[in-house]
Amino acid sequence: MEASGPRVAVYGEFNYRRDERGLSSDQSFALFVVRLAGFVTRLTIVGRLDPVSGSTHHRLEGDFDFIPLPDYASLGSFAQVLRATFASIPRLWRSLDGVDAVWLLGPNPLGVVFALLAKLRRRRVVLGVRQNIVELTRSRYGPGVHLAAAVFLEGAWRLLGRRCPVVTVGADLERRYAAAREVVPISVSLVDEADLVSPEDAGRRDYSGELVVLSVGRLEPQKNPLLLADVLAELRARELLRSEGRLAARRAFGIGVAKQDMLDVPVPAFLVEHPGAGLILIDTGFHPSVAVNPRQNLGRVVLFAFKDLQMDPGQAVSAQLRERGLSTGDIRVVVMTHLHADHASAIAEYPDSTFIVSKPEWAAATDAGRFHGYVKRQFDHGFDYRLLDFDGPEASSFSGFGRSFDLFGDGSVRTVFTPGHTLGHMSVVLRTKGREVLVAGDAIYLRETLDNSHLPYRVEDEHLFRRSLREIAQYRKETPDAVIIPGHDWEAWEALDAEY
């Protein structure tokens, strides 16, 4: 039966990717949006399109039009958002030619602009709210500029709601937008009715033997994932590569993964002897206390990701330095690929060292928290931190990398910007006696990530991760003799020489 009704455009803060098979999105809610095509005359989806061809989590199928907008890394990248917003205005204006109404999912900056343009064109505007942006931002970043921006955006959205109907997901948001012109609360399900099991069939199932618990949803702080910790404790393992299919999320946390299929992963650090700068450390590895009481250093949340952690006190970097007749005070410089807990755990061991950190990594680590892999007390010290601004004039390109720093001016130690795993991740290129060595850090967990573009299940920004992966691949092409060391690949670790 042919659908009848208005012609509707839908915009949300989603990222889309396109390949030869069509369009996909990183947000599952986009699956709900495309199903609207069966209820309107024409559905037009408006959203940010990743300039790199490829696919992401959710394949979108159906009869709809798509209008691409300029992409940007995240809402936290204020300058990029501003440029993309101005560049999007002509496309948003033209998109209104063939529609009767727009449904704008927000709050977000471009949604406010789109609403004003639609009002100018006398199109019906309906707002949508899926989550409490203020509480979400507070839980992710704490107080600061991000929270202030979220409060401002929600205020603008609620003000628009005085003139426009608002569709809210859940009763809490219905109450929050009670002053709107009209509030329409909805519940969203991505499960087709045909996939539901009847209570009778469920009651007849044999529940003896091993059971697997599947939680549907992201492990975000506002969703209180710690409630799952006791349930998952015996099922927990870690899979570093992304799986395909509906059960990918559970396999990423080891649910349903056989013990023999779990991966052993090293947590490395690297000692560099520079003829002029002295001893340099790349990352710190785990603090010695982790071998005895890991929760004290890592905290409950981060420790959940290292449930099967095995460490002897003698494996701490400080202990290995002592075996070589050295001390932590001999380390002049510590280069941090990033500040996740398994890399920054032992920063307190080096109070006299100078720490090199990228500026965006420091911003991400101090604004975010343990649910993003950071433990602030590990680096919250009055130490000598030097921040590298890869957007500044002193940064330059190197080999396949778009942005780098020559730390000592002699080409022997270069930091290269490889964001994605975290927003400020950097890798280190060393010119040793025999060949170059790239300490990739978590820009590539396993060698398979580089060889086959097999991504980890979760990265902070997939677009940036893929771009960094391409730059590493280009570096390998230009420097085929280089030793490339992945962040957590046991086989690659075992194959390394003790010294280069």
C-beta atoms surrounding 360 within 10 Å: 23
Q: Beta 58-60 vs 22-25: how paired, if at all?
A: antiparallel
One-letter identity of residue 298 = L
- The rounded distance, in Å, linking the Cα atoms of 414 and 418 is 12
Give me the amino acid identity at 291.
Answer: A
The domain segmentation of the chain, as residue ranges, is 7-186, 209-261, 270-495
Residues 195-217: tens digit of each pLDDT: 777 767 766 766 555 556 666 55
**Consecutive H or E run containing 469:** helix 462-478
Q: Can you give the pLDDT at residue 89? A: 93
The CATH code of the domain at 270-495 is: 3.60.15.10
pLDDT of residue 396: 94
- 371's tokens: 């649910």
pTM to 2 decimal places: 0.54
Interstrand relation of 165-169 and 58-60 (parallel, antiparallel or unpaired)? unpaired
Q: The domain 7-186 is classified under which CATH number: 3.40.50.2000, 3.40.605.10, 3.40.50.150, 3.40.630.30? A: 3.40.50.2000
What are the residues whose beta carbons fall under 8 Å from the beta carbon of 342, sequence distance 6 or more? 267, 285, 286, 306
* Angle at the Cα of 339 from the Cα atoms of 338 and 343, rounded to 5 degrees: 85
Splitting the chain (500 residues) into consecutive groups of 10 residues, what average pLDDT does each group show?
74 90 89 91 93 87 92 71 87 93 93 94 94 83 84 94 92 90 87 75 63 58 50 42 45 44 79 95 94 84 71 92 95 96 94 96 86 88 94 92 95 96 96 93 91 80 93 95 93 89
**Tens-place pLDDT, residues 317-359:** 999 999 999 999 999 999 999 999 999 999 999 999 999 999 9
Q: Is 260 exposed, middle or buried (0-12, 13-18, 19+ CB in 10 A)?
A: exposed
Strands 483-486 and 165-169: unpaired
Q: DSSP E strands: which ranges in 193-350?
A: 270-274, 278-282, 331-335
Q: In the prediction, which pLDDT does 332 show? A: 96
